[in-house]
Amino acid sequence: MSDSNSTFEGRLIPTLIAIFLIIATLVLVDVAADINEETTLSHIILESVIALAALSAVVILTWRVVGEARKARRRAADLGDHLESTRQAAEQWRNEAQSLLRGLGAQIDSQFIKWELSGAEKEVALFLLKGYSHRDIAKFRQVSEATARQQARAVYKKAGMTGRHDLSGFFLEDLALPPSTD
């Protein structure tokens, strides 16, 4: 159901309830006046049936609104439960990912220590692993691009690598997914 239909129905039923309630009230007032004027019994019965029909419509429509409200509350509760379980799953995933990243970070740092990288070289090596250009690294570290290039060459030399691809491959090779069996 589109939003315009939903809005129309949302306004229609309360409007109908009000109309039927007004009809029932007016007819009952008329019946009371007819009784005082000693109108025929058949006329009073007919108007009473009309008032009863209008009141029945009010009850039926009100019952429908209450039923729809109950369904909406149940649906909202179900959605709330689903949202909460999704949040919990996301939090668990984040925690597991953080744990893995901390472990990866520790292993990378351990390797940097084995290669005897200076603090500046470690920082440059991390930027290289993240894929930043020498220009970006220079900007982040507030040094010249030539200095960033020189520090990158020092990282490659100490690590026994020929360049950025070898450095990245050293750390990421074991992270590659195994070939698919499909």
4-37 per-position pLDDT tens digit: 666 777 788 889 999 999 999 999 999 999 988 8
Q: How many CB atoms lie within 10 A of CB 134?
A: 20
Identify which of 120, 101, 121 has the alpha carbon closest to the alpha carbon of residue 167. 121
Q: What is the mean pLDDT of the chain?
A: 89
Report the distance separating Cα 114 and Cα 118, nearest Å: 11
Kindly list the distances between the CA atom of residue 148 and the CA atoms of 95, 126, 163, 175, in Å, as whole numbers in the listed order: 34, 12, 14, 28
Residue predicted with more confidence, 173 or 142: 142
Percent of the chain with pLDDT over 70: 91
State residue 178's pLDDT score: 63
1 pLDDT higher than 60: no
Of 82, 85, 121, 126, the closest CA to residue 104 belongs to: 126
Q: What angle do CA 156, 161, 164 make, to 5 degrees?
A: 70
Report the distance separating Cα 115 and Cα 111, nearest Å. 6
- For range 168-172, the mean pLDDT: 86
| pLDDT score, position 29 | 94
Cβ within 8 Å of residue 120, ≥6 positions away: 141, 151
pLDDT tens digit sequence for 35-60: 888 889 999 999 999 999 999 999 99
| pLDDT average, residue stretch 95-124 | 90
pLDDT in the model for residue 8: 73
Mean pLDDT of 66-82: 93
* pLDDT confidence of residue 103: 83
Taking residues 85-95, what's their average pLDDT?
A: 92
Give the integer Cα–Cα distance in Å for 28 and 175.
81
Q: For residues 164 and 125, what is the distance between their CA atoms, to the nearest angstrom?
A: 9
Inter-residue contact 155 to 121 (CB < 8 Å): yes
Which pLDDT does position 105 carry in this prediction? 85
Mean pLDDT of 147-162: 95
Q: How would you class 62 by CB atoms within 10 Å of its CB: exposed for 0-12, middle for 13-18, buried for 19 or more? A: middle
Is the pTM of the predicted complex or chain greater than 0.85?
Answer: no
pLDDT of residue 180: 67
Q: Does residue 134 carry a pLDDT above 80?
A: yes
